[in-house]
Amino acid sequence: MTTFVLIPGACHGGWWFEPLARRLREHGHQAYSVTLTGLGDRAHLMTASVNLDTHIQDVISLLENEQIEDAVLVGHSYAGMVVTGAADRAADRIDALVYVDAFVPGDGDSAWYLTNDAQRRWYIDGASADGLGIAPMPFFDPRSTPHPLASAVQRLRLVDPMRKFRRRDYLYAAEFPESPFASTYERLRDDPDWHAHALKSGHNVMKDALEELLRILLETVPTS
């Protein structure tokens, strides 16, 4: 049995990953769908202090409270920042990392720095009047809520950016127009330390390629 910790991207809550979590449980694994602070049913916790460190701590607290020691961290989009930070700070509780059309930051990177101009315009044009959040795009699920702006601009600080894990996978949504993740896929696809996959999918991988995503996650399960 493997424990999957599923972390959604900007503006989304744990509900986004719940269909996948149910399928993983059907295969005999544990799966936690995380809702980060300030989002979804935790939107009432949105304050100016909610940032990337807050979201990293959300995941670390889950790992500690549930006594998870073999997690496969799975992050979509923005949550690649969270996966990387949690893996750096709680490496002894993590077995493998999966980035689903997501940022793969190094030390000192932010989502703002890593994304493209189209996404930066969304960050700014979508900023709420109080400056705390980034409004969901019109085509997002109606359950989506504003995303904490501070988490998108805060730089990630890593203690051991070269740390090794048993397995690292990168899933690239090849049909995402103007993708900010194309350069990341190009960088990782020939790297022997990574398993890189190009999916016939838009950025909403849960909608466009659920079965393929499930298949790849099951491949990350240790065979012995």
Residues recognised as catalytic: 77
Whether 97 contacts 168, CB under 8 Å: yes
Whether 99 contacts 80, CB under 8 Å: yes
Alpha-carbon distance of 125 to 122, in angstroms, equals 5
Alpha-carbon distance of 182 to 203, in angstroms, equals 12
Which residues touch 16 (CB under 8 Å, ≥6 apart)? 8, 9, 33, 76, 141, 206
